[in-house]
Structure 1
Amino acid sequence: MRIELSFFDLSVLIGITTGIVCSIILLKKSTIKKSNKFLALGILAFVWLNSKMLLLSLNLWEVHGFGYFPNSVEIAIPPLFYFYFLSIKNIDFKFKKKDWLHFIPFFISQMYSVIMYIVAMQTQVYSEKRLITDALFFNEAKNLDEYILMIMSGCYLYFGGLELKSFIIGLPKTNTKQDSEIKFLNILFFLLCTLSALHIINFTLNAVLDHSYNWRWDLHHSLIAAIVYYIAIIGFKNAEVILPQKNNNKENDVDISIIEKLNTAIISDKVYLNPKLTLKSLAKQLDISDTLLSSTINAHYQKNFRSLINEARVEEVKKRLLNGELDNLSLLGIAKECGFNSEASFYRIFKSETQITPKKFISNNLELSNSI
């Protein structure tokens, strides 16, 4: 059987590949930022959903082993992104056993799909597969899934939007990276609403339009591919950006002894001077788990590990520049002694922390010295 890829197929495949790669990275970084796990699962759910469309587009649905492949993942997407918004709002969010109740519709539908697949696999003749699954109300069940999806999308977007709005309004002043994360959340919510509205319109039009108008669903899945590509790339870029939390007295839950150890390591031992310093290596030095260290930093400093270390490195560079070390070392030499790996990362982080370039900082302080 010869398979020809159209532009639509290619765009969907690019979205799927990007989504899978970025999701794996996000899952690995979920110890730094818990919301990464839900974002990764949401992306993978979209990827899984688009694979269903590829079966139809590549004419694989009637091929034995491909047709009726169990896929009801669309019902899991609304609660996944709802929990993503919850975990963004509260960095200490914990998924509890009762939260699995939100996924009951998905589990029921997926179980039914698995049964249909097993039954359909009993014959290799597609027409016989149709007869068997039609007798077991396959099409009616899939239509019911669509209604459930529309209801769930509306409910979870409404309540997720309320959580997001209540969190963003009144946030403390943020830095450039955190502003980027807030912008991403707003765009993501808008895209999810747009996708949901387009799905409702397409499903409604199915009742009045014939198969010649099925390009509408190609457009729908092209949009999904574009959304997957966008949230995968930006989600990966913001994987370590922790938004500041509103004052909710969580500070009282922080172990002060860990804060004291951490302050000693940063202020006295200057661990940040080691360019190979990682969350895991510092946690080992402090004799605590990396998860506990990460959550402590997030709760106490309202930032992640990398931001805390980079801030200390920038302060050390500023201190050395003001002490006149440029007389003996180049700017890059000072940066590397303070723990930066490269010139590019040093310039980027310095400007992000101070809003000016290192050379502008030097120039400003030279002017100040000359005016005294």
Structure 2
Amino acid sequence: MNTSELNSFIVILIYGSLVFLSLLTLANPLKVNKKANFWFGLFLFLWSSFWLDEVLFLITGSPVEVHSILLVKFIQYLTPIFFYFSVLFFTNPSFTFKITDVKFLLFPAAFLGCLWGVALGYNNPFEYLSISLILFQAVFYTLLSYITIRKHQKKIQQFSSNTEGINLNWLEYIILVLLIVNIIYVIYNLFYDPKALNFFINAVFLLVIYCVGYYSLKQKEIYPLEEKQRNELISINEDVDSDEVKRKLISDDELTRIKTQLDEVMELQKPYLDSELNLIKLAEMLSVSTHHLSYVINTGFGKNFFQYVNEFRVNYAKRLLKQTDSKLSILGIAYESGFNSKTSFNTTFKKVTGQTPSEFKK
């Protein structure tokens, strides 16, 4: 099989995989992150359309330019927007579209106007403008999605003690890989023969698509399903960078009382050994609101929830690591201390102590 035949096989795999994955994501068999998966499924389906010309050429044996149809061009233009919407709902499942969100239609409306201009024969000005809009929108929503995910990774530390399954790292990595691949492709197109790079680009895309499939289908629900609890946590997140946190939610005496009570609970009951511990569970143990507990941890201890809980876990793990007669492995100590994976244990332990668990044990 030569490079051309292998590339054709990869193209078929890409298109088939994306269509199948989009249908699977839309069906959402696990019934998690419903709104996010709806938009992500639509994004995958639109993404598959970029290989439709090549697939039809392989089937019919003659060039087919589906992408030149005005309606198809317009629908494909929506691909980065749909990806951003999926990120938006992953990070905030309670998000609802408002009248002000008509702003999302500004670029598509301008692009549609350019397409009509080209259709009417005004090729030069409108064609260049449409290409500029495609590039600008792709970069704009890619960066906006990346920033949204980075903010999300910071926010979930306000209520979760284990963020590994809910931090959306996989989406962040995919954005970075696609951005790098597209930059290489654009530069190569300008200076070299673009066809020579097709095999490499398609092979990378196929690998990315399989990674997308693996991680998207195992993505857990990020926020609680119960609407009241979910909205509570989201409202705490929204206050993290605002002036609300700087204002006193409770008196100094009340803050001291809750701090003392929290210290006692953490020392005596050791709730941090529960790998699923979150702000809601800990607030219930103290009979305080999640907002007040978050305020006490942020203001009283100068830490977020994730840092506060995991320092207790690390200290507990240090005691276990010091026991010379312990039969527990490093992984066993990680689970015993409340961590849910060796990776998160190693990362958190090194961040707190400056050493890996193995180095500390030696």
Q: TM-score, normalised by structure 2?
A: 0.50
